[in-house]
Amino acid sequence: MILAESSHMYDVEQGWDSPINQIDLENRLVCTFSTLNEVENMINHIKSTYDIKYNKMFILHIQSNDEYAVTYNVEQGNVSNLPENTILVHRKKDSNTLYTINALNELIKSLNGGVVDTRFPIEWKHYRNTILLTQHNELKQLKTKIYKIIDLN
55 found inside a domain: yes
How many distinct structural domains can be found in the chain?
1
Look over the chain and give the mean of its residue pLDDT values, rounded to a whole number: 84
15 found inside a domain: no
2 found inside a domain: no
Give the burial class of 148: count Cβ atoms within 10 A of its Cβ; 0-12 exposed, 13-18 middle, 19 or more buried: middle
pLDDT for 84-137, tens place per residue? 999 999 999 999 999 999 999 999 999 999 999 989 999 999 999 999 999 988
17 found inside a domain: no
16 found inside a domain: no
48 found inside a domain: yes
Closest CA to 110 of 98, 122, 119, 92: 122
Confidence label for 26 from pLDDT (cuts 50, 70 and 90): low
The predicted pLDDT at position 75 comes to 81
What residues make up the domain containing 110?
22-151
12 found inside a domain: no
Range 34-63 average pLDDT? 93
The predicted pLDDT at position 22 comes to 43
The predicted pLDDT at position 117 comes to 94
